[in-house]
């Protein structure tokens, strides 16, 4: 199991009183938990993954997410079982939408 930690500048989103959970930990999938972070302009991400050696790919996917979404002020926890970058992006969007309370 590899553990990764990242911080990304990101446009602030609204502070939400809820904690959002999206996805399931299973083969080729992942679970994402979003809660309020400590800095309104930063998206903090902690990852536990079964796929070692993909830190640069995680950083690229998460950088894109933080640049294109109001994820500032969030703390995101990811438990991964080998999800592809497309699945990661999908789940991140779903979890942030739930956290922000935006209608889908």
Cβ(81)–Cβ(47) below 8 Å: no
pTM of the model: 0.92
Structure confidence at residue 102 as a pLDDT band (50, 70, 90)? low
Instruction: Name the token pair of 98.
Output: 């739930």
The owner of tokens 């500032």 is 72
Instruction: Please state the domain extents for the chain.
Output: 2-100
The owner of tokens 């399931």 is 24
How far is the C-alpha of 43 from the C-alpha of 7, rounded, in Å?
6
Q: What architecture (CATH level 2) is domain 2-100?
A: 2-Layer Sandwich (3.30)
pLDDT tens sequence across 54-84: 999 999 999 999 999 999 999 999 999 999 9
The owner of tokens 């922000």 is 100
pLDDT tens sequence across 9-29: 999 988 888 899 998 888 789
């Amino acid at each position: 199991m590899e553990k990764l930690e990242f911080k990304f500048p990101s446009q602030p989103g609204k502070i939400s009183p809820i904690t959002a959970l999206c996805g399931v930990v299973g083969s080729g999938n992942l679970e994402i938990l979003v809660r309020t972070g400590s800095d309104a302009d930063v998206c903090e991400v902690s990852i536990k993954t079964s796929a070692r050696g993909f830190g640069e790919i995680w950083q690229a996917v998460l950088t894109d997410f933080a640049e294109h979404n109001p994820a500032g002020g969030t703390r995101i926890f990811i438990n991964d079982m080998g999800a592809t970058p497309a699945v990661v992006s999908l789940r991140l969007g779903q979890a942030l939408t739930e956290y922000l309370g935006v209608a889908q």
